[in-house]
Amino acid sequence: MECVLTGIYHWKPTEIPAATPQQLIRRSEDLIPTLRERSELTEQKRGLTDETRDDLKRTGIARLLQPVRFGGAEGALGSIIDVLIPIASGCPSTAWCLAQYIMHNYMIARWAPEAQEEIWADPDALVSGIIIPRRGRAVPTDGGYRVSGQWPLVSGIAASDWCLVTAMTERSSAPDEERYFLLRTSEVTVLDTWYSIGLRGSGSHDISLEDHFIPEYLSLSLADLKGGPSPGSAINPAPMFKLPTHMGFGLLLGSALIGIAESMFEIFLSQSRRRRALMSDEETAAYATHHMTVGEISSSLQSAEALLRADGREMMEFAQQGHALSALERSNYRCNGAFAGRLARSAAESVWDLTGARGTYQDNPIARLYQDMIVASRHTTMNWQINSTEHGRTRLRLPLSSSAL
């Protein structure tokens, strides 16, 4: 049954000064116990609680990649990892929403100055969104576009202030163009569709628009997100804002998967120190087979994190050098992000197997986290087949099949 959700939030600008990336990292770590306490309520609500949304606003964590000009930290891409791993270990659904808020702020730095000034009149604005262009249509009109469509999986929509949608734009003398549009969340219809087996608290509902006018300055061509100068370059000259945006998505979602798996692992280790086998009453921590698997889990998670950190550093180095990234390099980052996610999911599955029958109880936090992992790893950015195939094509000197990369 479809229904319109109520309770879209309204927020007054806060007086929080711009924080450094290091301060935001510490604030994210400080939130872990609070988020764990709220995780069950977040699941029941099927969306972020008012308190969690207020905490994201109060701490300014979503400003991590936001331009300094608009009260952001303008942190290095690798700082994503330092924030999202701890947040995901506290509440995967909160991390999933936060990943969208952080990345959309990073993308908005490419929009026209007028758009940025309107959105960041409140520097704490949270921006949700979805990048599935073929679920929407945009028709050019005087001063902007008429946009219609229905988009699924819009994580964190009810807690957001603004929303980003994508649509195919009709052009009379050229192929349809993929464009990105920003509008206030209060302007979209939110459909109550998110009944999931995991990440229940992410509130990833459908949204819809019907012949809705969006002015030109709140739209952007996909071409302006693929690297180099953009309409926002005049006020955001930092090299990081000239990088292609889509190639870095794996840093965010890969970090969230690592945080989920690490939380499962720590809980398992804690439980194992007092666990005895049901049949033999032996201490399971004494099993040699457990030792080997625990070692493999540890190495897998460290490897996944190290891979993301290496990519984050390299992207920033390329930005500083003004290096125009090749198709091979862009697809490599997406492939590595998916591989890090694959390592994290494999580690989570090993923890699940080691947990045994006790893991089938819903009140075991490992079970709930495993369900979150199952859903999180289904995101297209984490899809190993898609992203490894794309990179394999470029290794074989074939053109990219993805228009976004």
How many whole angstroms separate alpha carbon 145 and alpha carbon 168?
11
All CATH 2.40.110.10 domain ranges of the chain, comma separated, are 127-223
DSSP reduced 3-state for 390:
helix
- How high is the pLDDT of residue 127? 98
pTM of this structure: 0.93
363 DSSP assignment: T
CATH of segment(s) 21-119: 1.10.540.10
- What's the confidence (pLDDT) of residue 272? 83
Please tell me whether residue 237 adopts helix, strand or coil conformation: coil
Please say whether the structural domain 127-223 has been given the CATH code 2.40.110.10. yes
pLDDT digits (tens, 9 = 90+) for 170-213: 888 888 999 999 999 999 999 999 999 999 999 999 999 999 99
Stretch(es) of the chain classified as CATH 1.10.540.10: 21-119
Taking the alpha carbons at both ends of the chain, their separation in whole angstroms is 37
SS3 145: strand
Domain 246-395, CATH number (from 3.30.70.790, 1.20.140.10, 3.40.50.720, 1.20.1050.40):
1.20.140.10
Average pLDDT on 85-90 reads 98
Looking at the predicted structure, is the pLDDT value of residue 243 above 50? yes
The predicted pLDDT at position 271 comes to 86
Q: Could you tell me the pLDDT band of residue 10, with boundaries at 50, 70 and 90?
A: very low
162-169 vs 144-154, strand pairing mode: unpaired
* Mean pLDDT score, 356-379: 93
Residues 108 and 236 sit within 8 Å (Cβ to Cβ): no
Listed in order, the ranges of the chain carrying CATH 1.20.140.10 are 246-395
With contact defined as beta carbons under 8 Å apart, do 304 and 258 qualify?
Answer: yes
Calculate mean pLDDT across residues 302-310: 98
Does residue 277 register a pLDDT over 90? no
